[in-house]
């Protein structure tokens, strides 16, 4: 990293990606797939690593951000990671068990089952915004499924990437888990490797490039992408109550969260009351922005400048603006919570994922207008609906699409180990966490074992009466 500008620079000696992949592939072929005990051992080792180096991890992430609230690293990264490991460990035995299926009548005696086999070598490309959870989380699922893994963490969180490289190298041989570091050039070369599966977490634009790079190898991809996750506030909600969990979701990690509420659809009559409640809430949660250890910095000056221009553009286009009383600190990249009221639908802030503590409030007249607003845009990663009328909430859920949903709160569905996490449409494809993660990174192999005395063996040319009997 360039220490003066804080911007990443390309590694001078690019890692030997092909060599690492070849070594992992050789190791896959040289041994039987790891059994339950070996997989549990890897998971335990990883959990031990996190426990031992917890403070170093928290410090590295904070240094990468400038300031990252330590509780946000604990709550948003380490807690879900450790819960995930515990859940996978507990259920792995039953997930690995082959599933009995029923062979067709004409093929009996025989037995049929689905066996979950490791895919081989899995690649993980991860972003900077939760550099621990979004790197080690996919690793947990890949190891649980018995794979070998190559990881390319984000160059925008260089200290965390360095730490992960060092710690994982102390735990795993390079032919089991290898971390490579580098910028976009290394990332591109990484995405062109002939993995057995590639999990990419990042922006939708780069996700497209990754899928294209994987296509010539027919490498299957899981794409965990971003987008604009809406909040739909149904009429009659208590504004203070709703504001509390919306503010938590929006200002956590200063809005740099893939499932952060991007904008709120507010009943027109409630707009003034809700805007006031949101601002009150932001000022209560963060009495100061500058010097407040609970408030996280924007990752780089370039990202900060983009947020400034999003607000300026929306205001110039006629949006109302309400800012936290503390204007923040551009030098330390502390961007204050900012509400934009009724920004034009064609302003940049309503066109791109915000990824910062700016919250557009969009008025609507009828619930069906709000649902249409959501459906006219790409399918989001998350949708949040606030309402106490079960029927009305169910209707909103039925008539919209999104990767996941939390009702009457934000973000919490992601922390459920027993729920799949993934997007749909432009917010991604495939899912991981828990059983879905195990299955995503295993090959469900169909295995039919024929009994010795089996009439189907008699079906062969020259075809006679028997074939007519079978095909009738
Ligand atoms: P990004 O797409 O810029 O980068 C992600 C990773 O891709 C990095 O490791 C980077 O080195 C690599 N990369 C960059 N250019 C590449 C290329 N041409 N080919 C291959 N790889 C390349 O994303 P980011 O800025 O690090 O993260 C923010 C984005 O990630 C947001 O859009 C956010 O919504 C999304 N995100 C999604 C999830 C999820 O789980 N769905 C989680 C966190 C973040």
Q: How far is CA 319 from CA 310, 373, 471, in A?
A: 11, 18, 70
pLDDT in the model for residue 462: 84
Q: How far is CA 86 from CA 80, 93, 345, in A?
A: 10, 13, 44
Lookup: tokens for 125 = 């490309």
- Residues 214 and 217: their CA atoms lie apart, in Å, by 6
Contact present, 230 and 154 (Cβ < 8 Å): no
Strand 338-341 and strand 320-323: the pairing is: antiparallel
Q: Name the pLDDT band for 12 (thresholds 50, 70, 90).
A: low
pLDDT in the model for residue 20: 98
- Residues 401 and 265: their CA atoms lie apart, in Å, by 16
Does position 275 have pLDDT exceeding 60, yes or no? yes
What pLDDT, in 10s, does the model give residues 399-453? 999 999 999 999 999 999 999 999 999 999 999 999 999 999 999 999 999 998 8
Report which ligand 1 atom has the smallest distance to the Cα of 191. Answer: 20
Q: How far is CA 52 from CA 45, 159, 239, 362, in A?
A: 10, 17, 43, 46
- Residues 155 and 341: their CA atoms lie apart, in Å, by 35
Mutational test site, ligand 1, from 126, 202, 227, 228, max ligand atoms within 8 Å of CB: 202
- Residues 169 and 172: their CA atoms lie apart, in Å, by 6
pLDDT in the model for residue 461: 85
How far is ligand 1, taken at its centre, from the CA of residue 11, in Å? 18
Contact present, 119 and 444 (Cβ < 8 Å): no
Average pLDDT (67-78) is 98
Helix H or strand E segment including 382: strand 382-386
Contact present, 162 and 181 (Cβ < 8 Å): yes
Lookup: tokens for 161 = 């990437």
Question: Atom 12 in ligand 1: which residue has the minimum CA distance?
Answer: 187
Residue ranges lining ligand 1, Cβ < 6 Å: 125-129, 134, 152, 154-156, 184, 187-188, 191, 201-203, 206, 209-210, 224-226, 258, 353, 355, 381, 423, 428
How far is ligand 1, taken at its centre, from the CA of residue 260, in Å? 16
- Residues 220 and 211: their CA atoms lie apart, in Å, by 8
Per-residue H/E/C for 141-184 = HHHHCCCEEEEECCCCCHHHHHHHHHHHHHHCCCCCEEECCCCH
Q: Is 248 or 10 the better-scoring residue by pLDDT?
A: 248
pLDDT in the model for residue 3: 43
Question: Atom 40 in ligand 1: which residue has the minimum CA distance?
Answer: 224
Report which ligand 1 atom has the smallest distance to the Cα of 259. Answer: 34
CB-based burial, 363-373: b 16+ in 10 Å, e otherwise: bbeebeebbeb
**Measured CA angle at 295 (ends 294, 298), to 5 deg:** 145
DSSP string for 298-355: PS-HHHHHHHHHHHHHHHHTT-EEEE-SS--BTTTTBPPPEEEES--TTSHHHHS---
Average pLDDT (362-374) is 98
Report which ligand 1 atom has the smallest distance to the Cα of 203. Answer: 32
What percent of the chain is predicted at pLDDT more than 90? Answer: 92
Tell me whether residue 321 is exposed, middle or buried, using C-beta atoms within 10 angstroms of its C-beta: 0 to 12, 13 to 18, 19 or more: middle
How far is ligand 1, taken at its centre, from the CA of residue 161, in Å? 14
Spatial CA neighbour of 146 closest among 121, 182, 111, 115:
121
What pLDDT, in 10s, does the model give residues 41-50? 999 999 999 9
How far is ligand 1, taken at its centre, from the CA of residue 203, in Å? 4
Average pLDDT (332-361) is 98
What pLDDT, in 10s, does the model give residues 300-316? 999 999 999 999 999 99
> Mind telling me the catalytic residues?
224, 258
Q: Which residue has the tokens 């794979």?
A: 147
- Residues 178 and 151: their CA atoms lie apart, in Å, by 6
pLDDT in the model for residue 114: 98
Does position 13 have pLDDT exceeding 90, yes or no? no
> Average pLDDT of the chain?
95
Report which ligand 1 atom has the smallest distance to the Cα of 190. Answer: 20
The DSSP letter of residue 413 is G
Indicate if ipTM > 0.90: yes
Mutational test site, ligand 1, from 10, 155, 206, max ligand atoms within 8 Å of CB: 206
Question: Atom 9 in ligand 1: which residue has the minimum CA distance?
Answer: 154
Average pLDDT (57-62) is 98
Average pLDDT (141-157) is 98
């Amino acid at each position: 990293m360039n220490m003066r500008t804080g911007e990443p620079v390309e590694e001078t000696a690019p890692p030997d990606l092909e060599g690492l992949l070849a070594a992992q592939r050789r190791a896959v072929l040289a041994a039987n797939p790891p059994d339950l005990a070996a997989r549990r051992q890897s998971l335990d080792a990883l959990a031990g690593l996190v426990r031992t180096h917890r403070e170093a991890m928290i410090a590295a992430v904070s240094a990468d951000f400038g300031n990252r609230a330590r509780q946000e690293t604990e709550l948003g990264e380490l807690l879900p990671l450790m819960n995930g490991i515990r859940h996978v460990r507990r259920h792995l035995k039953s997930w690995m068990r082959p599933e009995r299926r029923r062979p067709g009548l004409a093929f009996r005696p025989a037995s049929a089952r689905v066996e979950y086999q490791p895919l081989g070598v899995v690649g993980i490309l991860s972003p900077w915004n939760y550099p621990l959870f979004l790197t080690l989380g996919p690793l947990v699922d890949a190891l649980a499924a018995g794979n070998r893994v190559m990881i390319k963490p984000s160059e925008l969180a260089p200290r965390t990437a360095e730490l992960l490289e060092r710690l994982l190298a102390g735990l795993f041989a390079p032919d089991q888990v290898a971390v490579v570091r580098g910028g976009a050039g290394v990332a591109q070369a990484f995405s062109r490797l002939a993995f057995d599966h590639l999990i990419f977490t990042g922006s939708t634009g780069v996700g497209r490039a990754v899928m294209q790079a994987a296509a010539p190898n027919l490498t299957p991809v899981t794409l965990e992408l971003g987008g604009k996750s809406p909040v739909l506030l149904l009429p009659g909600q208590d504004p203070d109550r709703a504001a509390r969990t919306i503010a938590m979701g929006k200002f956590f990690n200063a809005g740099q969260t893939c499932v952060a509420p991007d904008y709120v659809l507010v009943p027109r009559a409630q707009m003034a009351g809700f805007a006031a409640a949101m601002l009150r809430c932001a000022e209560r949660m963060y009495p100061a922005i500058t010097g407040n250890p609970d408030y996280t910095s924007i990752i780089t000056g370039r990202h900060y400048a983009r947020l400034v221009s999003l607000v300026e553009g929306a205001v110039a286009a006629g949006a109302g603006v309400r800012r936290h009383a503390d204007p923040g600190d551009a030098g330390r990249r502390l961007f204050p919570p900012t509400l934009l009221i009724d920004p034009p639908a064609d302003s940049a802030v309503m066109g791109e994922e915000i990824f910062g503590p700016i919250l557009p409030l969009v008025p609507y007249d009828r619930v069906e207008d709000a649902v249409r607003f959501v459906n006219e845009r790409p399918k989001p990663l998350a949708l949040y609906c606030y309402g106490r009328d079960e029927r009305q909430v169910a209707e909103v859920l039925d008539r919209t699409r999104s990767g996941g949903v939390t009702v009457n709160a934000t973000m919490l569905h992601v922390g459920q180990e027993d729920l799949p996490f993934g997007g749909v449409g432009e917010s991604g494809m495939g899912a991981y966490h828990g059983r879905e993660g195990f299955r995503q990174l295993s090959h469900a192999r169909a295995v039919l074992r024929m009994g010795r005395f089996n009439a189907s063996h008699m079906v062969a040319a020259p075809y006679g009466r028997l074939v007519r009997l079978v095909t009738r």
